[in-house]
Structure 1
Amino acid sequence: MAKRFSFTIDATDGRARTGRIEMLRGDIRTPAFMPVGTAATVKAMKPETVRATGADIILGNTYHLMLRPGAERVARLGGLHKFMNWDRPILTDSGGYQVMSLSDLRKLTEKGVEFRSHIDGSKHMLTPERSMEIQRLLGSDIVMAFDECPRADRPRDEIAASMEMSMRWAKRSRDGFDAGGEHAERAALFGIQQGALDEELRKISAEKLTDIGFDGYAIGGLAVGEGQEAMFATLEFAPQQLPQDRPRYLMGVGKPDDLVGAVERGVDMFDCVLPSRSGRNGQAFTWNGPLNLRNARFAEDQEPLDARCSCSVCSTYSRAYLHHLNKAGEILGAMLMTEHNIAFYQQLMQTMRDAIGAGWFATFAADFRRDYLGSGE
């Protein structure tokens, strides 16, 4: 019988790990990249196309779905999987990050966050308990605890106070999730480590989360403007502070070289809007670095986007045609570029899984950085 949730590490190479998460709706190979389906859609892609790229799991956004079409409506329509025609695991974020970004539209208290919708100005209250309820109504497979995500440049005492409140919210999230009946019996709950760039605060956060107990643990509060060097410095210690036998999820990351560096430091799961957003704006990721297909130099270039890529876009269309679609503002351009980028990210994850399993991840990482950072635009 399929398991509610289990995590197996199949191989390690240095700190890098490869394995799998087993869930009722299917296995998730790690390291894993989750395409972001903010409003029940990975923009410019059909769900079956997303799956065909190799994605095992996607991410949905609690904040956007609670506002439109509404969690209760999604539940009445059979849940998020049926609603968007995706039969594999879905992770939903808690809504905390989006709400915290509405600095002019929200009020933060111990109870939760009161905010006004960016769509119509209507007033809402999001608490740990309500976040768990929304994610239950959506029917997500991996539920994220509700937290606050402070910027790294805030004073240390403010970051410490925010982290402590997030840990109290984590306990309330745990209690709210456990009260979810049948959903709690088939879904998983992840806690979120906070503490910005501070090693001591992150250690305290990790200890409190471990005491509460979660199926997996996310590293929050990074990729919020601190830069890659500071992020990597934090990842030298943050993953190691979390339980070694549970998956570690770095939220909101990132560029291809971010993913390689984070896997090198022991991270197992990622999500980011970058491949789809970049695709809609004419940027393609390749093994030799990113390309801006709106550049005039591609107007008569009959080569594929990336000769090393096995996706259907690279095997079918030329750079010249993609340049034309992007310059003309054709919808097909956004569709094809996004498909390639998502496929490239999945190929990158598979290559890392293979390299870890074979014990040559360090060689792969050095070769990747030489090619990707050395000759891109």
Structure 2
Amino acid sequence: MVVPSPFVYWAQTDKSVSLKIELRNVVKPDISVFNNNIKFTTRGVGAHGDSQYEFSLDLFASTKPNKDGDAATVRIFDNRVEVILDKEKPSWWPRLTAQPQKPAWLKINFDLWKSDDGHDSEEEARDVMQDYPGMYDKLQKEEIGYRKEDLKKVYLVLYNLFQLIGFVYVLSVMAIRYAKLDYDSVADTYEHVGPAVKFLQLMMYLEVMHPLFGYTKGGVLVPFMQVSGRAFILFVLIDSEPRMQTKPVVFYLFLMWSTIEIVRYPFYITQIYKKNIYILTWLRYTMWIPLYPLGILCESIVILRSIPYFEETQRFTISLPNEWNFTFDMPFYLRLYLLLLTFPATFFLMSHMYKLRTVKLRPKIVIKKCK
């Protein structure tokens, strides 16, 4: 009679290997580990019902006793048995077994696939995809027949791709209309691409929430300032005042914004897959040098041109008396906002981008050992 084997799920760090054995009602499993071989025998409830189960594996490399002197650390739960083996030499194994072929009941526990590098900070922690690019993909392809993508990664790629297509559409419409009508197309820019720009701008608030949800690294303040600054210019000053929508500055403002984004979003997609395309990286951290000041100049012109309109219409201005006993003068706020935008905000944003450029475009020093 052939004794069945249970389903075994394995994972590793650079120092240990863990086995999760899917069996219920296990009391005292018989586990023996000798050098690079492990044998497991017990009675429990598994895929073949209540039965005797066993398996034997020749491991890829040698193991050593744990700190208590035991060959393995064994933990028994109601629905599984966990076995942890310490590696004799810290390293990443390309597979669990000595031979390339693995039994059908041996699976990979991708949820536990991580690196134990001794860091407590989540930002400093690494994973096997960074340490050994290609190994994780290879194991997943062997396990399930294709490269399994993280849902967060799929979402980020789709988001960045959607935004890229959106701003390419905006630029394309502007370019085609300018090619056909020349400068006469400038006055109708907002009418033709304004709705698309507004929708894309609202979508950008997802970028503010991505760090909060742990989808991306970095802070919230800088993206919030950038997105909210654009939203204020677009929705409060341009969209609410029809006379501003026909000004040539709107054309140039959309041109600056869209040109920045058609480089930024492809760069983000390459970073998601940890691909470094130097020309794209260089453009991402160089194009801002002329485009950001020009964009801020266009935004400043929009604010200056809007002040007389808001003085005339008193839109968004709250005067006393009112039930809240509160006053708000929109033209005064615009002058104050212009002052802050021209000096502190511009300095903060440019300094932030300069620091990023210094880090991202820093020459890599390669140390070669002399023979």
Pick the structure with greater CA Rg.
2
Fold match by TM threshold 0.5: no
Higher strand share: 1
Higher helix share: 2
- TM interval, short-chain normalised: under 0.3
| TM-score w.r.t. length of structure 1 | 0.22
